[in-house]
Amino acid sequence: MLITFFRAIILYIVVLIVMRFMGKREIGQLQPFELAISIMIADLASIPMTETGIPIGNGIVPILGLLVMHLVISLLNIKSIKAREIVCGKPRILVYRGKIDEKALKKERFTINELQERLRGNNVMNLGDVEYAILETSGQITVIQKPEKRNTIPEDFGITPEYEGIPYDLVVDGKVMEENLQKIGKDYQWLKKQVEKFNIKPEQALVVTYDGKGQIFCQEKQKDA
């Protein structure tokens, strides 16, 4: 039992490292070759994890081989448009200028109901509101609504909002993020003064954030009972 326990930990670490090298895509955004490799990695890891009679290297070596294959295919995709089309396919327009392309639906084996379901997933409830619907190579659908149905933005009213930037975490679970403090040109003493306005110390904060307008959000950590 102890051997199985440690084999599982080793294989978990190997698979975790390999998946990190593969990138940060969500499962729903994986390309076909990435999904195939992910499934194979899971299968290869499961066998030596439970079968103690099989050398653990018999699982690790093929997994590393798949990682090399993934990196090679990814490099080919970057270097060659043709290779990218062969491996990943091409996006296909399912709705063009408000009209459903039945031939495209049949080629992708999509039903009207599936298309409507995907549109609802994009917060579009009515087919008549769609100008373009594009099936991406990852299987996701990108929806462009008709101009009169799109959400208004400040530009529509001739308004130019102020630049907001991105918020920075300055404290997370009581730990001061020194690197983020440096990015905004501040130091610990400045942070301490800001947090003291909330009657706590930085180390007592659950989270402290600083946005592009200079506003600070602070919440105290819950005290243990």
Distance between CA 219 and CA 207 in Å, rounded?
6
CA–CA gap between residue 177 and residue 211 (Å, rounded): 15
The answer for residues whose C-beta is within 8 angstroms of residue 88's C-beta and 6 or more apart is 31, 32, 33, 77, 137
Above 80 in pLDDT, residue 29?
no
Say which CATH architecture domain 92-149 belongs to: 2-Layer Sandwich (3.30)
- What letter represents residue 146's amino acid? K
Kindly report the number of other CB atoms within 10 A of residue 48's CB atom.
23
* Measured CA angle at 42 (ends 38, 47), to 5 deg: 150
Q: Is the pLDDT of residue 225 over 50?
A: no
Domain ranges of the chain: 2-86, 92-149, 168-220
For the chain, the average pLDDT equals 85
Q: Tell which residue, 167, 166, 169, has the closest CA to residue 179.
A: 169
3-class SS of residue 206: strand
Q: How far is CA 75 from the centre of its chain?
A: 20
Residues 64 and 19: beta-carbon distance below 8 Å: no
Strand 92-96: give its sheet, edge to edge. 99-100, 92-96, 130-135, 141-145
CATH code matching the domain that covers 168-220, chosen among 3.40.630.30, 3.30.240.20, 3.40.140.10, 1.10.10.10: 3.30.240.20
Mean pLDDT across 75-79: 84
Give tens-digit pLDDT for 81-109.
888 877 777 889 999 999 999 999 998 88
Return the ∠ at Cα 133 (arms to 130 and 134), rounded to 5°.
Answer: 165
Task: Give 142-187 pLDDT, tens digit per residue.
Answer: 999 998 888 888 887 888 877 777 889 999 999 999 999 999 999 9
pTM of the model: 0.63
